[in-house]
Structure 1
Amino acid sequence: MQNLLFMQGQGHLDQGDLQAAMSAFNSYLTRFPDGPHTAAALQRIGLISQQQGDLGAAEAFYTRILSEYPADPAADTARLALIDLMTAQNRYEEAKATATQRLAEDPPAPVRIALVERLVSLHDGDTGVSQSASYLYQLYRLLPAPENASWAEALIQTIDKMNREQITALWDLMDDRRMRSHLMYRYAVVLVLEADYDDALEILNAFQASFPGHPHTPDAANLVEMLSRRLAFTPRTVGCLLPLSGAYEAYGRRALNAIEFALSAQPHGEGIAPIRLVVRDTASREQVAVQAVKELHQAGVGLILGPITTAPAAVSQAQQLAIPIIAFTQRPEITQAGDFVFRHFITPQSQVKTLIGYFSKELGLTDYAIMYPEENYGRTFMTAFWDEVLNQGGRMVGVESYSPEQTDFADTIKKLVGTYYPVPAELQARPVVQVEESPYFRDTSEGDPIDHLETLLPDPITRLSGLFHQDPDQDRIKGPALGRRSVEEQDRPVTDFDVLFIPDSPQMAGLILPQLAYYDVKQIYTVGTNLWHAQQLIDMTRKYAQNAVLVDGFYQDSDQAHVQRFVKSYTSIYGRKPGIIEAFAFDTASFVFSLLHQNDIHMRHELRDALKQMMFEQGVTGPTAFGPNGESIKRMTLLRIKGRRFVEIPRP
């Protein structure tokens, strides 16, 4: 009877007679509430309710089945219907959660396939590409061929929409060789779109070798040809991008002279191919610099030396064209433009790193202070110095700023050494009591000495704290006002630092150093930036600048033989001694020319990689290497003022 009644309801449902089917299933539930078809009957009633548009009732029946009959086969049917209902109501997250929860329980294969099909649909679209591909891959692997053909095609189409991060996330998941080939090709295409040409070329070459008969093989070959043309350069051809007109012409001319001087010093003769320079003028303007980079690319240069100014625009364009470029600039964060961008020049960071490394590691000093002008240069160096002090394990014990127009630094100095603010009268140390007057040495018959303490030590802080003590090595009783100083002592400076850093011009330093001496700030190292490397500072301060330490990127009067040769030869040709711009331009050109002579390099990315791996030992600005971020790694020159001249500080 139970089976007959249920079958009647199913027959009506199959014929589309929803009312008769609903009546039969309800009768079954009334007569056989615990029958073998109870869950199935509830599922059919939910389905009929859904078809009649009563979605609330349908959901209630489906939910009841999942709650009361989770192990019944009808539960999976109800769950799938519930997911479809939620999807129709745009309740996508609930639908996803319901499907993934059941999927985690390892359902039978038909149920798993049905769940995954729904999850593919739910994750369809740009925001769900990775998840959609993951579920498509499951279908592709779950179904046998040729049933999985449509899912394979859908998966390949989804892969063709992926970005770099999505491909990387799915690579380990997809161990199928066919699908990995599509991932690999798509990854190369993405790299081309992102202008990461050298990595794209490497992957495309590997793709061609691994999948010779692949449908994308012709496309890969075309991309390889295009990238090879883009990345290749005319052998031993170097571009120069310098301001040869406009506001910064003088600097550009000096740099070009040094580069040409470096070229003249290269080996010549039979069998040695010469270096070719292609020079372009930035005119000290950004738009001109960008166009000049494009022209140098068309000229087939392998690398660009410069610029000095207009650096941000120029390096951005060079990065887009995948041309290594070495800028002579202090502009912050210039190398963040990309992996083809290098900097070889003195920077605030390189200066403070050298200074603090010397004082901390070589002299063992730990305590630092800063006096800086309240303007961009001063703030930049103050921040860099402070950060590097902490980075090298030191302590910053004092920081004071002053106006760039200031000439009287009394208040600034007093604030730095603790004599600016007077000690309040109630915190000043009280007169001490001599031993011979001390009640501690009196006959106790005259009473307990503690009774006289209020008169003896009237300072309320001393009395209440209980910190007074007798020092047996001294002939007096001390009432310890901790950290307090006498009226006379409060005018004496407290120089609790070893090094005072003053990042300012020689003119301002020339005003500050004598005033430090006047206010008795002595027995410390006064330290400056490369701006202090000027005779004007010595002329202004004379004895007050003695033993001051400064940093610079180049020292004309160095005792090193190769520096002396450079200065002498350059001066004889150009009639003036080389400065810091000439020195850095000369070194940069020298190691670039050396790389081109010594290495069989045909691609710009190979030249970029060679720069990051080289170590140039004999530079006139010191040994040079480049970090992974394109910043030069070098130790600046340290100088000390001695008498009326600057002398180089020997380093280990």
Structure 2
Amino acid sequence: MMRRLLLILLLVLIGQAPVVLPAVELPGSLASRPLTERETFERGRAAYLQGDLDTALGLLRGFVVRYPHSSFNSRAYLTLTRIFYQRQQYADARLYLERIPELEETPEGRLLQGALDIAEGDPSHGVERLSALSPGDLLPADQVLRADALARGLAAEQRTLEALLVLHRQLATENTAAGDRTTLLRLAHELLDSLDAADLDEAAFMFTGTAIGQDALLQQAQRLVSRGQTEQALPLVRKLVADPTPFAYRRDAVLLLDRLTGQPWLQRAVGIMLPLSGRYAAFGELIRKGMDLALQLHPDSGIRFIYRDVAGAEDAALVVDRLANEERVMALAGPITGTRALTAAGQAQQQQVPLISLSQRDGIPELGNYIFRDTLTSRLQVRALARYAVEEKGYTSFGILRPQNRLGEEFARLFSEEVLALGGLVVDEEVYPTDATDFRRQIRMLMGQDPEAPDEPAEMTEEEQLEDLFVPDFPAVDFDALFIPDYADMVALIAPQLPFYGIENIPLLGINGWNSPDLVRNAGRYVEGAVFPDGFFRHSSYPFVEDFVRLYYDRYGEEPSILEAQGFDVAGLLLSILERPDVTTREDVRLALSRLSHYPGVTGATSFDFQGEAEKELFLLQVQNGRIVQIN
């Protein structure tokens, strides 16, 4: 009976009008609340700013219909006007623009009115409106829109030189974005193409030293060539290519010069970027000496080295651009300093010119497949040292005593990684200040002792002395070798203190900074047996190293260092590649470098890994009987 009554009551309720209950948003509810008026507008505006015109159009059209009296409507109408203007749907753009009551009161409104006037074929009114509008009253993007529309309007009134002047002024402003700059220069190119000969000459003169002027000069030369006046065109093209002003059609100018002169586009040349002035000039000159010596050994190659000083304020990217597009080199080498090396490598990758970097700065080969590096890096050193220690000597545990600086931190990290990969382990690491002279604390900590304990132990009783006779002697440290990544002057301070405080007969491992006569002179017997790597050893018994040292001494009257050797090797391997008859393009050079295998360089047999990093067989050096000798 009760079930039948409930059924009847349910039917009655269904027949009545639905009851609308107020929505309740519970904490954690999946139901999302409706967007507010402001949120709806801002979502549409954000979609427009992100370039999603379809989404913005749908949201903002819906907004003005749903909220016909909103205070955001003027801004919504302006955005819709912009969307339709960008789509070249000018009638729809005008429809929304005219819905704005205060249209003439805002610079943005007057800008869009003028732009639409010109787009719809009324340049007279459009030019008048836009000319009266001060660029300073507009946002940077709207300044570009004004310049673009005004230039088109002036051109429609046959005032093309004035149009070019408008574009030139906008391009001269620092806040013009790169993409907008490209758009304006493309329009300028079209306008120049429409000029007669007299106006083109005037444009080339008016805009000398600018991208527009360069374009005008190129179009003058192209017209002369098309009329068969190649002798008149040649000096124009030479002037154009010699001018360092960047412009979008430089490659066309270079190709035209090749066509007129009958020379190939690429030259058998290498662009070399070194610090030849300023604080690093001495290093740059040493590398250059090594490179010049390598070139001397190839007298009939016809290959040129073009040196550029990158020590000044000039942007390294611009230097690369000039070497690539004006000198038309097939490959690049350098620089040696970090920031400029990164900049140059980035530009070389963009231009697709093979570059061998001489810098130790992190991240350079990773910039792209045209970038290689041939220099003595921290990774190369610890790899050679770890292989020697673990694979040849059988050491499995290591201690590190390092300076408290970036050099010490990097070497310690890399050494730990390399020995771990080979099955070894760094069991202790101690750090000292860079200005330290007393290393008692660090040495005691390596020995597992209290650094604050007195140097002299308390006097033992006779009974304690007797017991001590039966205690076995344990090693002072629990590792097989000690790695000290510092330079010879500091090692000369550290090494004598090791046995003084209790660490005796422990093999010492170092870095190339140990390869100095000062090491043996100042540290003497305390570094006997120490082993360290280097990228060059002028006393090597390798015949090709002996030949290099002799040739260098004969020419310059002094013995070479690793810098001259590095320059000699980089130049030599590039010369060996460029002399091959099958290497005619930059891509050929890149492939040859990527396939290089054990090039017999004086800084070690050299190959490049998949990332462009040099893989070298370094020199392993050891102090033996008070002399530094090669042991590999």
Q: Which TM bucket (shorter chain)?
A: 0.5 to 0.7
Aligned mates of 2:253, 2:402 — CA distance in 1: 51
Offset of residue 601 of structure 1: 2.8
Offset of residue 256 of structure 1: 1.1
Aligned to 2:402: 372
> Contact conserved, 2:274 with 2:308, CA < 8 A, in 1?
yes
Q: What is the one-letter code of the residue matched to 1:238?
A: V
Q: What is the one-letter code of the residue matched to 1:290?
A: A
In structure 2, which of residues 414, 428, 438 is the aligned counterpart of residue 384 of structure 1? 414
Instruction: State yes or no: 1:294 paired with 2:324.
Output: no
Aligned mates of 2:526, 2:318 — CA distance in 1: 51
Aligned to 1:625: 607
Aligned to 1:255: 287
**What does 1:334-483 correspond to in 2, within 5 Å?**
334-420=364-450
Q: What is the one-letter code of the residue matched to 2:530?
A: A
Aligned to 2:333: 305
Aligned mates of 2:299, 2:469 — CA distance in 1: 74
Q: What is the one-letter code of the residue matched to 2:323?
A: L
Q: What is the one-letter code of the residue matched to 2:376?
A: I
Q: Secondary structure at 1:641's aligned position in 2?
A: strand
Instruction: State yes or no: 1:241 paired with 2:273.
Output: yes
> Contact conserved, 1:414 with 1:493, CA < 8 A, in 2?
no
> Contact conserved, 1:286 with 1:314, CA < 8 A, in 2?
no
Q: What is the one-letter code of the residue matched to 1:259?
A: M
Aligned mates of 2:365, 2:312 — CA distance in 1: 20
Aligned mates of 2:498, 2:562 — CA distance in 1: 30
Instruction: State yes or no: 1:563 paired with 2:590.
Output: no
Q: 1:88 to 1:606 in 2, by over 3 A?
A: farther
Q: CA deviation digits over 1:68-115, x for unaligned, max 9? A: xxxxxxxxxxxxxxxxxx9999999xxxxxxxxxxxxxxxxxxxxxxx
Q: What is the one-letter code of the residue matched to 1:584?
A: Q
Aligned mates of 1:507, 1:326 — CA distance in 2: 32
Aligned to 1:595: 577
Offset of residue 317 of structure 1: 2.5
Q: CA deviation digits over 1:560-604, x for unaligned, max 9? A: 111101111111101111110111111111111111112523332
Q: What is the one-letter code of the residue matched to 2:317?
A: V
Q: What is the one-letter code of the residue matched to 1:322?
A: Q
> Contact conserved, 2:336 with 2:357, CA < 8 A, in 1?
yes
Q: 1:296 to 1:512 in 2, by over 3 A?
A: same
Aligned mates of 1:627, 1:226 — CA distance in 2: 35
Q: Secondary structure at 1:623's aligned position in 2?
A: strand
Q: 1:486 to 1:404 in 2, by over 3 A?
A: farther
Aligned to 1:185: none
Offset of residue 242 of structure 1: 1.0
- Segments of 5+ residues of structure 2 without an aligned counterpart are 1-9, 24-33, 41-46, 56-86, 88-178, 180-247, 257-263, 454-460
Q: CA deviation digits over 1:613-641, x for unaligned, max 9? A: 11143111111111222211112111000
Aligned mates of 2:49, 2:469 — CA distance in 1: 75
Aligned mates of 1:419, 1:308 — CA distance in 2: 44
**CA-atom RMSD, angstroms?**
4.6
Q: CA deviation digits over 1:12-40, x for unaligned, max 9? A: xxxxxxxxxxxxxxxxx989x9xxxxxxx
Q: CA deviation digits over 1:176-233, x for unaligned, max 9? A: xxxxxxxxxxxxxxxxx9xxxxxxxxxxxxxxxxxxxxxxxxxxxx99x979969x95
Offset of residue 642 of structure 1: 0.9
Instruction: State yes or no: 1:279 paired with 2:311.
Output: no
Q: What is the one-letter code of the residue matched to 2:624?
A: K
Aligned mates of 2:35, 2:614 — CA distance in 1: 57
In structure 2, which of residues 346, 357, 367 is the aligned counterpart of residue 327 of structure 1? 357
> Contact conserved, 2:323 with 2:329, CA < 8 A, in 1?
yes
Q: What is the one-letter code of the residue matched to 1:578?
A: P
> Contact conserved, 2:525 with 2:626, CA < 8 A, in 1?
no
Q: CA deviation digits over 1:377-409, x for unaligned, max 9? A: 212212221222222221111100111121111
Aligned to 1:265: 297
Aligned mates of 1:625, 1:373 — CA distance in 2: 32
Aligned to 2:520: 538
Offset of residue 537 of structure 1: 0.8
> Contact conserved, 1:626 with 1:632, CA < 8 A, in 2?
yes
Aligned mates of 1:627, 1:229 — CA distance in 2: 34
Offset of residue 523 of structure 1: 3.2
Q: 1:233 to 1:242 in 2, by over 3 A?
A: farther
Q: 1:399 to 1:604 in 2, by over 3 A?
A: same
**What does 1:138-177 correspond to in 2, within 5 Å?**
none
Aligned mates of 1:413, 1:600 — CA distance in 2: 60
Aligned to 1:519: 501
Aligned residues: 413
Offset of residue 281 of structure 1: 1.1
> Contact conserved, 2:389 with 2:395, CA < 8 A, in 1?
yes
Q: Secondary structure at 2:565's aligned position in 1?
A: helix
Instruction: State yes or no: 1:613 paired with 2:586.
Output: no
Q: What is the one-letter code of the residue matched to 1:261?
A: L
Q: Between Structure 1 and Structure 2, whose CA radius of gyration is higher? A: 1
> Contact conserved, 1:419 with 1:491, CA < 8 A, in 2?
no
Aligned mates of 2:277, 2:38 — CA distance in 1: 65
Aligned mates of 2:498, 2:605 — CA distance in 1: 36
> Contact conserved, 2:607 with 2:614, CA < 8 A, in 1?
yes
Aligned mates of 2:427, 2:378 — CA distance in 1: 21
Q: What is the aligned-residue identity percentage?
A: 34
Q: CA deviation digits over 1:421-445, x for unaligned, max 9? A: 589xxxxxxx9x9xxxxxxxxxxxx
Aligned mates of 1:411, 1:292 — CA distance in 2: 51
Q: What is the one-letter code of the residue matched to 2:327?
A: A
Q: 1:391 to 1:599 in 2, by over 3 A?
A: farther
Q: What is the one-letter code of the residue matched to 2:278?
A: G
TM-score calculated relative to the size of structure 2: 0.56
**What does 1:31-180 correspond to in 2, within 5 Å?**
none
| Greater than 4 Å deviation, 4+ residue runs | 86-92, 124-129, 225-230, 485-493
Q: 1:229 to 1:385 in 2, by over 3 A?
A: farther
Aligned mates of 2:591, 2:37 — CA distance in 1: 55
Q: What is the one-letter code of the residue matched to 2:308?
A: R
Offset of residue 308 of structure 1: 1.5
Aligned mates of 2:323, 2:418 — CA distance in 1: 38
> Contact conserved, 1:527 with 1:549, CA < 8 A, in 2?
yes
Q: Secondary structure at 2:539's aligned position in 1?
A: coil
Offset of residue 505 of structure 1: 1.6
Q: Secondary structure at 1:330's aligned position in 2?
A: coil
Aligned to 2:111: none
> Contact conserved, 1:591 with 1:616, CA < 8 A, in 2?
no
Q: What is the one-letter code of the residue matched to 1:240?
A: I
Aligned to 2:476: 494
Q: What is the one-letter code of the residue matched to 2:285?
A: R
Aligned to 2:77: none
Offset of residue 286 of structure 1: 5.5
Q: Secondary structure at 1:390's aligned position in 2?
A: helix
Q: 1:406 to 1:512 in 2, by over 3 A?
A: same
In structure 2, which of residues 470, 474, 488 is the aligned counterpart of residue 506 of structure 1? 488
Offset of residue 536 of structure 1: 0.6
